[in-house]
Structure 1
Amino acid sequence: MLENKMDQLNISVQQIFGEQEVEIVNFTCEDLDYKTPNFTTAGIFHLQGIALINHEQLPWSIILKIIKSDSAEKEDPAHHNYWRREALVFESKILDELPGSIQAPKCYLVEEQVDGTVWLWMERIEGQFPHTKEQFDIIAERLGRFNGAYLSGKNTPNDQWICRSWLRSWTTSSIMYAPNPEEYIHHLYRDNDQSLWAWFQGFMKRIDNNLNALHRLPRVLAHQDLSQMNMLLTQNGELVLIDWQFMSLSGLGEDLGKMFGVNMSLGVIPIDRYEEFKESLFHSYIKGLKASGWQGDESLARYGYCLSTALRSVWEVPQYFSLSTQLCADSDYLKLQDRVARLEQIINIQREMAEECSTLKAYR
């Protein structure tokens, strides 16, 4: 794979050490075999080896990410998953000007390929993925500082490839590709399922109004993909966010809603601690917003947080009905039982947060 790539490798290693002359003594390339890549990710590799710098042998380490076009819709810069966005993020140097509460990996080289893919040669970050509530609270507070900086005087970037309606685009795609719940609801007879179906029908009728309300919130620069494996806490206390493919200008609180929602979905947040995390993360986020200098109405952030979490139901409710129907035919399948039980609890949280939004009438 790396045939004829020694020039690019040398350029990257030179930037690591800030040296004009390096000699790569040896290196290995490991396919990280990331299990849930973005559809526009063709591969992620870890390159590491030894370089000779001023007669001294020193170790180096690089991440190589290959991105590709996936479909016609992802050729549109307005799409939430526009395939070239991360390359443009790195070329723009926006990440060099982030608020101090968060960091991003350095990009040594953005390389266009004749096959149409783009290779991103990037810094490898040494850090720990969050797993405790305390670590998630730290990240939520830093996220509040990050988002809040753009409400307290920091200029918001205006590049046209930054998504302006990330959640509207994601919601539209999710509705398009999710199972059709009407195919499954008639096979389910539990009272809770019928109640959920009635709520979901009403929620779907209000989708446009909800998205319009979200768009009226104060706008901030957002990451929009804060799953566990995109957040690294380093030994010196820095928070480094990787994978900026979904960069957007979003409503206040949206980033936090994505962080909470996706880590429930991935099973990172324990099922018996959803309520605890929900409130603790928001409290930490508000703390960060205030530390950034923002003195606005907290209910604006609450609305964005609750609604962005609730909107994930457009994907997860259809999944729940589909899997519940399978469970009826194979009720002894323990793994499926666990997944359905977790989805049911997640949807209960989404429903609760949607109903809270309806009480914040000023922002509907």
Structure 2
Amino acid sequence: MLGPDDVTDAALEAVLADLWRVRAVTLLESTAEPVAYDVPSILTGARTWVRGTAEVDGAARAFTLFVKRVHHWRHSPAFAFLPPELAQWAATTVPWRAEVLCYGSDLAERLPDGLTMPRALHIDDRPDETAVLWLEAVEHDDAPWDRTTYVEAARLLGRLAGSAEVGDLADLDPQEWHIHYFVEGRIAHTVLPGLFDDATWRHPLVAPHFGDLRTLLLGVAGHLDALAAEFAALPHRAAHGDACPNNLLRHPDRPGFTLIDYGFWRSQPVGFDLSQLLVGDIQVARRDADDLPELAEACLTAYAAGLADEGLEVADDVLRRSHAVSLMLFNGLPSLPTEMVAEADRLEAGDGLGEEQRHAWDHWSAQRAGVARYALDVLARTA
């Protein structure tokens, strides 16, 4: 199951000795199975559970480990679909080593109280621009989040951004990244073509929900360079980069969260992590957008309090503008469901789109329109 990510029994025994902080372990048996996870990532090659038993001080003890292979995105199947003229440029503009560097650092010791991260027990950093991380499995409370949970997470993300100790590691990945790479790549090639296509706006999955937003979204698209320049000029702080609820595992026995998945760790405009916190689950159809403006207001207040907890004062108008600009670039414009439209058309050309699927996608499109509507509103109000 692990294939090239496997280790020898002796190496696995060393991992378990580190996990349990004992001198010696004897492996008795182990199995591997893929992690059930339906959110694709261009930087992740495999996620695997390794389970088994080992003998410690004469007694059998069960173990579970999480093994994750990360890679340069040229190893991703998605890379093969890039036009040749873009491949070389794209290969140099998507950093991939941040997660390896985070787990190899002392970040865990610097996180503010309430945030933890899994222990890295073994890191196999390879010359082919792949790396395999052997991490401790983390127990967590997977009950649905309520507003209190979001507010608690927002305050801790504010503390993360405000912490001087964490800030020293904000740029531990030396690979250059600039917002223009995102605008010229992701937005220019996967968002703007659909945005400027009349057929998109006539589509039954788009017209009822996004129709009244067309002029406003096109207006934003017409000023992308200025918006990107404003993004780059905003005050930057340490950011997780993908602080959606999926990557904040709630502690089962105390307040706080285990923060996972550091692939997009770097300095970003203050408040950047609020975007994925607020809309990450909407993007993957796990929650609705009905209460987004009210939830965002509560989380902005909590995030500001977290900054203040760490002794960092950021003017309210700066934080709100930073949130608005980040949200529009990374979530507002990309909320237009062009990939959903393409898949629906493909299915209609074949066996047809089932009524249940059509209803589910229509509802999802409506929620994504709620994200776009909120993003447009806060961008206008903070101008």
TM-score exceeds 0.5: yes
Asked whether 1:231 is paired with 2:248, we answer yes
| Alpha-carbon contact 2:65-2:136 (below 8 Å) kept | yes
Distance 2:138 2:110 in 1: 18
Determine helix, strand or coil for the equivalent of 2:116.
coil
Determine helix, strand or coil for the equivalent of 1:120.
strand
Distance 1:20 1:191 in 2: 64
Deviations 1:58-100 (CA, angstroms, capped at 9, x unpaired):
2222100012333255643xx3x42333122222333443333
Report the equivalent of 2:147: 133
Asked whether 1:305 is paired with 2:319, we answer no
When residues 157 and 196 of structure 1 are mapped into structure 2, their CA distance, relative to the original with a 3 A threshold, is: closer
Q: Give the letter aligned to residue 226 of structure 1.
A: A
Q: Give the letter aligned to residue 317 of structure 1.
A: L
The alignment-based identity, stated in percent, is 18
- Aligned with 2:365 (options 310, 321, 340): 340
Distance 1:339 1:73 in 2: 33
Deviation at 1:335, TM superposition (A): 1.9
Report the equivalent of 1:144: 158
Distance 2:149 2:118 in 1: 20
Asked whether 1:349 is paired with 2:366, we answer no
| Alpha-carbon contact 2:209-2:369 (below 8 Å) kept | no
Deviations 1:310-335 (CA, angstroms, capped at 9, x unpaired):
222232226289479969x8795312
Report the equivalent of 1:314: 333
Report the equivalent of 2:202: 187
Bigger mean CA offset, 246-255 vs 46-55: 46-55
Determine helix, strand or coil for the equivalent of 1:253.
coil
Determine helix, strand or coil for the equivalent of 1:213.
helix
Number of residue pairs aligned between Structure 1 and Structure 2: 352
Deviation at 1:113, TM superposition (A): 5.2
Asked whether 1:259 is paired with 2:277, we answer yes
| Alpha-carbon contact 1:309-1:353 (below 8 Å) kept | no
Q: Give the letter aligned to residue 145 of structure 1.
A: R
Report the equivalent of 2:80: none
Report the equivalent of 2:110: 97
Distance 2:288 2:336 in 1: 19
| Alpha-carbon contact 1:27-1:49 (below 8 Å) kept | yes
Report the equivalent of 1:109: 122
Q: Give the letter aligned to residue 229 of structure 2.
A: N
Asked whether 1:170 is paired with 2:187, we answer no
Q: Give the letter aligned to residue 187 of structure 1.
A: R
Deviation at 1:199, TM superposition (A): 1.1
| Alpha-carbon contact 2:158-2:307 (below 8 Å) kept | yes
Distance 1:296 1:125 in 2: 34
| Alpha-carbon contact 1:138-1:284 (below 8 Å) kept | yes
- Aligned with 2:131 (options 118, 136, 156): 118
Q: Give the letter aligned to residue 255 of structure 2.
A: G
Distance 1:19 1:278 in 2: 46
- Aligned with 2:19 (options 3, 16, 19): 16
Distance 1:154 1:264 in 2: 29
Distance 1:27 1:290 in 2: 47
Report the equivalent of 1:55: 58
Distance 1:259 1:169 in 2: 23
When residues 162 and 27 of structure 1 are mapped into structure 2, their CA distance, relative to the original with a 3 A threshold, is: same
- Aligned with 1:216 (options 207, 227, 233): 233
Deviations 1:30-75 (CA, angstroms, capped at 9, x unpaired):
2113211311211111112222112232222210001233325564
Bigger mean CA offset, 154-163 vs 39-48: 154-163
Question: Which structure 1 residue ranges, 5 or more long, are not aligned?
Answer: 359-364
Bigger mean CA offset, 87-96 vs 201-210: 87-96
Distance 1:321 1:92 in 2: 39
| Alpha-carbon contact 1:324-1:340 (below 8 Å) kept | no
Deviation at 1:21, TM superposition (A): 1.0
| Alpha-carbon contact 2:97-2:173 (below 8 Å) kept | no
Distance 1:113 1:162 in 2: 17
Distance 1:230 1:350 in 2: 22
Deviation at 1:247, TM superposition (A): 0.5
Determine helix, strand or coil for the equivalent of 1:294.
coil
Asked whether 1:87 is paired with 2:100, we answer yes
Deviation at 1:162, TM superposition (A): 6.0
| Alpha-carbon contact 1:226-1:258 (below 8 Å) kept | yes
